Structure 1
């Protein structure tokens, strides 16, 4: 245990406390400080989080733990709420040990935005710290990516002028290097930027692992339901949500913080955030999404997780005639959407035959509409009638309007029963009669005319009794000029020219696109012929065999383009950098690595020869 340590101040980064310890201990070499704190001279200082916390906590004494250091003196809580429970545990183990792969698991490497290339401070905070503690220190909230304002004093942050000259050097804030004059800038988005800074500070102060990615996603769906952005099939209305985001968040602000949404990109951050994907979305973008939903971090904590529009079930039967009235015995709900109001409608079917529906915004014991009463209800109705009760008394007993009772007793209403799969035969019979009547009435109608006139019947019969339909329909009619002979040789030559033009266009595309028969066919509107009639198109077939790319070919072309760009800009080439930019999985990248190395060697040799010649 250390004889003393510079105990961290409120909201101080652990890095800052260690920097102060190094200064006050009198150590000249940072490696001596590292050995005293971590028992190793090879630990690399980390501003944001750090590693080897188990050893450090033991050295500092019982008042410190790995969890308390991680929660109160690193930026980890900024990211923690948006990580899966499994990833949270993995990171906790990472910081206890050497921290290998920590920032990759955290998503800072892949999903980082608005990266800060130094240390930042608030001039008012620094002045207050000097008065209160005798020295300024590094506040963790001022180092968060995407945050440019102090959440307390609402002024822009300044960059500390001193930077690291060595990877193992610790920087300690000193007043002599700081500009303490208030900084005021004209910023049209100041109000929004300050709001996000305050929300980021709230994230930092949540209890460790109080929320997880699974909970956050479920809470988001609850909020999206309030905005009617969840379909009856439980999918997010991506297009409508995109339009709503556009009208809420200024595009100039989103571009400034590297968060503009490209709706044509299937993996833009907004789609990833609202889908159950494993990709990381930066915490700053989560804060943008909460701003769009008009919710704060505190309110999000209190929001219930999503159980669907009508909950998880079971659901209550509201048949007053049944012994199980208001008991939760209905296991499923069928969710649809009202065509006019767009409200979600739940339909509940009980084994007693009672079917009712209601909106998702109404009370669980409220009936919107009764679709079928069922045998139990009808039996109760007749029992009450035999007791010589008045119609109004029966209506009160059954929980319906007296007019409904009157109609059913008179018998002028068709009793709706629960439909089952056995009803298909009845439906088939009815639809067959409809079609046969029309054919008999208008024998000259063509198949197409019949299909257009009886679309519902035609499609149902086509699906469930195609043989009968084909026999019942009139003979197919072919006009004299209906069948035209195709000049396949001419079409073959035309396709070759069109495909060559498209091929060059695809190769020149800024974002590489894999060249496949499907891509070419869909782009030219000739997919059916390319898939079914290539035997009649020999030149087209040969051209496609030459230009269509396998997955491996496409991966190589992507990597070659990246290499060419790096060489053109005189940048150093690293294979890991190529893999990351090309987004190729490791086991696939290892297979093409020898070819890439040969290509790099060849291109470098050509470049060197050109320079020598010139």
Structure 2
């Protein structure tokens, strides 16, 4: 059915909500709500919507010259706000649904699952209303005032007031204009009076929310891009444990320090930590579904408040150093993982060809030299061809960019038969310039003043006695570290491998180390107990999956974690009863 051209349609004001434009048309029409709906949309029972109105295609060709449906959607609805962080195909589906009968519009946009409820009771600013009357002769509803993340006016910083117009109750099928009768001076505030610090945060959030309305179509955005953006920003601000793991504890602490009690004003987002929907932790992980725009704004506000740390590895992609690959020396590596190693960090670069190398990162952020870690599938055929061609060990080492001993080890691992020997040559080597000079007088290798020989038995007794204290120190580390032979050697001597190479000379020490070494299951149990104690200290709910992730253990330990939580609950109940 083709509807006649509208006899009158008010020119939308800057920042005016489309609901308000329709309300001013209804005041001019004065034929009643159903007649107005019939005139505008051809359906007398159409529902008046604040945020994402639909059936807008009924206005096509009936608006004043220069005014289009897209201009109304972009400039006078809340669609740009709700679409700001959604993929392009979802934004297109929302726009089509707004042109049509709406259908499952709130399901498409994800609004139906958001923890933060939509605004259904229109809001106004007591400072804006008289200014509107002075400028235009009447008031109107500002669209930024109707955003769920806006509690104070972005212009004046005044706490917004709740009008008497609630579209979820008795005003579903009519448009009501912003007048003094529905915006009385004694209207209740939408939130209690904030402190100066809270008011500053609320004003910052209000202005960031209003800015989303003016951005319009932000271009192609998908969940993978959002994930990569947050991961990169969190890493540059020291909030990542590795390339893929977020330091959730540090992130939660930084979030609490940044926003304090402000989140209590937004039901559903009262806490950013675990056990309260975990929206912050979810947002920092891989994006799989739509998140409320306020969650994105809070995360970006936090990231913007922290100083960027110098990125020692620089932005990717990084060089591939595989001498066997056609892309050797090109910026094709996109996989970077950083893990902690005592006082320093190690960056692991992994190329799609299978080649991996590492670079150490000192506490000062300085990069160490590149160290080969793995060649990948290109090594076996290349090494077999070189061996078959009779290449020498040193020439192959130069070809692969590693030392000869590493080449021999790689050949042995791949079960490639070679005639190479890594034993030192018996032929003496000297500089060519010295060949013509007379041979120097041979020097006896006999030690003229031999020092005292090492008393291995005494050393063995001393180290064996100290192993227990070293194990106690390792067990006292927080977060827990596994008591292993390597960790005990580091505590005893400040290095690893020295004792293991002298097993026959230090039998008591080896036996003591084996006796104090910790099995993996026992270490994981200590990690679980540590995580439970920390979550209790932070007043976080003890949920098995949350303890599992905090402890860094696998899901096959969930039953054991449930038992440990139950044991703690029983102990806590006994303490309280006592």
User: How would you bin the TM-score normalised by the shorter chain?
Assistant: 0.5 to 0.7
Q: Are residue 88 (structure 1) and residue 91 (structure 2) matched? A: yes
The 3-state SS of whatever aligns with 1:160 is: strand
CA contact (8 A) 2:106 2:112 kept: yes
Q: Following the alignment from structure 1 to structure 2, what is the Cα–Cα distance between the partners of residues 350 and 45?
A: 54
Residues 5 and 316 from structure 1, CA distance in 2 versus in 1: closer, same or farther, beyond 3 angstroms? Answer: same
Q: Following the alignment from structure 1 to structure 2, what is the Cα–Cα distance between the partners of residues 110 and 45?
A: 21
Quote how far apart the aligned CAs of 1:231 are.
3.3
Q: Following the alignment from structure 2 to structure 1, what is the Cα–Cα distance between the partners of residues 69 and 234?
A: 37
Q: Are residue 161 (structure 1) and residue 164 (structure 2) matched? A: yes
1:314-361 Cα deviation digits (max 9, x unpaired): 626599xx9x9994166476633353555563558999x997737599
The equivalent of 1:274 in structure 2 is: 284
Q: Are residue 193 (structure 1) and residue 202 (structure 2) matched? A: yes
Q: Following the alignment from structure 2 to structure 1, what is the Cα–Cα distance between the partners of residues 253 and 333?
A: 37
The equivalent of 1:566 in structure 2 is: none
CA contact (8 A) 2:348 2:357 kept: no
- Uncovered stretches (5+) of structure 1, i.e. residues with no partner: 373-412, 427-432, 460-509, 528-614
CA contact (8 A) 1:225 1:309 kept: no
Which has more helix, going by share of residues? 1
- Uncovered stretches (5+) of structure 2, i.e. residues with no partner: 373-401, 416-496, 521-540, 546-555, 567-578
CA contact (8 A) 2:78 2:143 kept: yes
Quote how far apart the aligned CAs of 1:96 are.
1.6
Decide which of 255, 273, 286 is 1:263's aligned counterpart: 273
Q: Are residue 206 (structure 1) and residue 210 (structure 2) matched? A: no
Q: Following the alignment from structure 2 to structure 1, what is the Cα–Cα distance between the partners of residues 289 and 565?
A: 36
Decide which of 65, 72, 79 is 2:68's aligned counterpart: 65
Q: Are residue 228 (structure 1) and residue 238 (structure 2) matched? A: yes
The equivalent of 1:146 in structure 2 is: 149
The 3-state SS of whatever aligns with 2:60 is: helix
Decide which of 302, 306, 327 is 1:292's aligned counterpart: 302
Residues 72 and 341 from structure 1, CA distance in 2 versus in 1: closer, same or farther, beyond 3 angstroms? Answer: farther
Q: Following the alignment from structure 2 to structure 1, what is the Cα–Cα distance between the partners of residues 404 and 42?
A: 83
Q: Following the alignment from structure 2 to structure 1, what is the Cα–Cα distance between the partners of residues 207 and 119?
A: 19
Quote how far apart the aligned CAs of 1:175 are.
3.4
CA contact (8 A) 1:161 1:177 kept: yes
TM-score by length of 2: 0.59
- Correspondence 1:353-432 to 2 at 5 A: 357=359, 368-371=368-371, 417=406, 422=411, 424=413
Quote how far apart the aligned CAs of 1:131 are.
1.4
CA contact (8 A) 2:349 2:356 kept: no
Quote how far apart the aligned CAs of 1:239 are.
2.0
Q: Are residue 219 (structure 1) and residue 229 (structure 2) matched? A: yes
- Correspondence 1:281-360 to 2 at 5 A: 281-294=291-304, 311-313=315-317, 315=319, 327-328=329-330, 331=333, 335-337=337-339, 339-340=341-342, 343=345, 345-346=347-348, 357=359
Quote how far apart the aligned CAs of 1:450 are.
7.4
Quote how far apart the aligned CAs of 1:17 are.
0.5
1:215-269 Cα deviation digits (max 9, x unpaired): 333322221111122233422222221122122221x222222223363439511
- Correspondence 1:233-248 to 2 at 5 A: 233-248=243-258
1:284-340 Cα deviation digits (max 9, x unpaired): 2222222221269xx9xxx9xxx9965553626599xx9x99941664766333535
The 3-state SS of whatever aligns with 2:347 is: strand
CA contact (8 A) 1:338 1:345 kept: no
Quote how far apart the aligned CAs of 1:42 are.
2.8
The 3-state SS of whatever aligns with 2:233 is: helix
The 3-state SS of whatever aligns with 2:61 is: helix
TM-score by length of 1: 0.56
- Correspondence 1:107-186 to 2 at 5 A: 107-113=110-116, 115-163=118-166, 165-179=170-184, 185=193
CA contact (8 A) 1:160 1:177 kept: yes
Between the two structures, name the one with larger relative contact order (CA 8 Å, sep ≥ 6).
Answer: 2
Instruction: Let me know the Cα RMSD of the aligned residues.
Output: 5.1
The equivalent of 1:591 in structure 2 is: none
Equivalent residue pairs, number = 414
Residues 59 and 512 from structure 1, CA distance in 2 versus in 1: closer, same or farther, beyond 3 angstroms? Answer: farther
Q: Are residue 36 (structure 1) and residue 39 (structure 2) matched? A: yes
